[in-house]
Amino acid sequence: MAAKIISGTEIAAQIREELKKEVAEIKEKHGVVPGLVTILIGENPASISYVTGKQKTAKELGFHSIQDNQPENISEEELLRLVEKYNNDPTIHGILVQLPLPKHINEKKVLNAVDPDKDVDCFHPVNVGRLMIGGGEAKFLPCTPAGIQELIVRSGIETSGAEVVVVGRSNIVGKPIANIMLQKGRGANSTVTIVHTGTKDLASHCRRADILIVAAGVPGLVKPEWIRPGSCVIDVGVNRVGEKMSEKTGKMVPILKGDVDFDAAKEIAGAITPVPGGVGPMTITMLMKNTVKSAKLAAGIK
Ligand code: GUN
């Protein structure tokens, strides 16, 4: 039987509707408007596209939003000063520095300069530590992993006691999603394995998974025979494998492929995310959710 397709596009739209109502309510009752700044350095086309999407969504939800574009040759010192300016701006509740940064800038130094209370990306070591500790310590969850958990929960997939196998150990997806799924509580409490480029037999681990989360950045890495029949497959890979003409706009657009061979996998899995339209739309939505939470915390709203 073909798998249920988990639509990130639909679930993200649902969450955005919920957030829109929440934003209108805190504006009306408390006069609070969530503020988000996205800082973009240089002209990397993928980064421009991500940041444009984030700003468009922020505006749709009724945020105060600032797109701060800076030239490729901005110095590290100037960028640190800019981050400090937004740390001290009470109308801003979320600061996002779009990655990657140019080579002459120390990424770690910049991410560490963001006020942890405004770190809606959840990249600051303080927030990474809070996530690891769990038990309600975390103010924010990192956006892509939080989106993955929402997809699983809202699709009615049981996580408690489930075997979760995560392919990839990045700081943005692999490590934090493994951490989230092993915490006690709703949408987690799983038995988690992380596999990576040093793992001896990837296939045998993947075959054990009730929930397989793939964030390797290798197009088509996971073969259909690695998938346990009836399992849930979350494909985080967004690999640009070429270009095609868009029927809507007539412009050239990237062809995106996931880390999983989707057409074959959907005949074996019980539920699966497509690429595009799976995890992707959730990332921006969770960024908005974090910014609303940050605004509420700053204003002492429960
Ligand atoms: N570049 C690619 N993904 C991300 C993300 O989630 N946050 C930031 N700040 N930069 C990125």
Q: How far apart are CA 194 and CA 173, in angstroms?
A: 11
Residue nearest to atom 1 of ligand 1 (CA): 99
Residues 154 and 263 in one domain: yes
Average confidence score pLDDT of the chain: 97
In a domain, 272, yes or no: yes
The predicted-structure confidence for 82-102, as pLDDT tens digits, reads as follows: 999 999 999 999 999 999 999
Same domain, 225 and 115: no
Going from the C-alpha of 229 to that of each of 4, 43, 166, 204, 209, the distances in angstroms are 13, 44, 17, 14, 10
Measured between alpha carbons, how far is 242 from 254 in angstroms, rounded to an integer? 6
User: Is 99 a pocket residue for ligand 1 (Cβ < 6 Å)?
Assistant: yes
Minimal CA–CA distance to 164: which of 208, 221, 200? Answer: 208
Residues 81 and 195 in one domain: no
Any atom of ligand 1 within 6 Å of the Cβ of 141: no
The reply to whether 149 and 271 lie within a common domain is yes
φ and ψ at residue 212, rounded to 5 degrees: -110, 120
Does residue 131 form part of some domain? no
- Of all atoms in ligand 1, which is nearest to the CA of residue 100? 1
The answer to the question of residue 292 being in a domain is: no
In this prediction, residues 175-196 reach a mean pLDDT of 97
Ligand 1 centroid – CA 144 distance (Å) = 9
* 272 and 153 within one domain: yes
* Atom 4 (ligand 1) nearest CA: 99
Burial of residue 207 (number of CB atoms within 10 Å: 0-12, 13-18, 19+): middle
Q: CATH number, domain at 71?
A: 3.40.50.10860
Nearest C-alpha to atom 9 of ligand 1 is from which residue?
Answer: 98
CA of 232 to the centre of ligand 1 (A): 25
For 146-155, write each residue's pLDDT tens digit: 999 999 999 9
What is the per-residue pLDDT across 226-274, written as a single tens digit (0 to 9) for each?
999 999 999 999 998 999 999 989 999 899 999 999 999 999 999 999 9
Residue 210 placed within a domain: yes
Would you call the peptide bond into 224 cis, given omega within 30 degrees of 0 as the criterion? no
Q: Name residue, tokens 């062809």.
A: 255
How far, in Å, is the centroid of ligand 1 from the Cα of 99? Answer: 5
Looking at the fold, whether 152 and 265 belong to one and the same domain comes out as: yes
Asked whether residue 157 falls in the same domain as residue 106, the answer is: no
Which residues are registered as beta bridge partners of 95?
Answer: 37
pLDDT of 111 > 90? The answer is yes
Q: CB of 97 closer than 6 A to ligand 1?
A: yes
Q: Is 212 in the pocket of ligand 1 (CB under 6 A)?
A: no
Chain centroid offset of residue 226 CA: 25
Ligand 1 neighbour 119 (Cβ under 6 A): no
51 is a domain residue = yes
Count of the separate structural domains present in the chain: 2
Catalytic positions, written as ranges: 54, 98, 121
Q: Is residue 70 part of a domain?
A: yes
Query: Residue 4, SS3?
Result: strand
CATH number of the domain that residue 253 is part of = 3.40.50.720
Asked if 148 and 115 sit in the same domain, the reply is no
Instruction: Please give the residue range of the domain that contains residue 195.
Output: 141-282
| pLDDT (0 to 100) of residue 297 | 98
**Same domain flag for 174 and 253:** yes
Residue 96 alpha carbon, nearest atom of ligand 1: 9
* Alpha carbons 200 and 292: distance in angstroms, whole number: 43
d(CA 45, CA 52): 11
SS3 of 24-62: the string is: HHHHHHHCCCCEEEEEEECCCHHHHHHHHHHHHHHHHCC
For residues 54 and 96, give the distance between their C-alpha atoms in angstroms, rounded to a whole number. 10
Indicate whether residue 38 lines ligand 1 (CB < 6 A).
no
163 plus 100 within the same structural domain? no
In a domain, 124, yes or no: no
Q: In terms of domains, do 239 and 277 share one?
A: yes
Q: Do 48 and 174 have their domain in common?
A: no
Say if 129 falls within a structural domain: no
Kindly state if the Cβ of 287 falls inside 6 Å of ligand 1: no
What spacing in Å lies between the alpha carbon of 226 and ligand 1's midpoint? 29
Q: What is the pLDDT of residue 296?
A: 98
**Domain endpoint, select from 68, 88, 119:** 119
Query: What local confidence, expressed as pLDDT, does residue 46 receive?
Result: 87
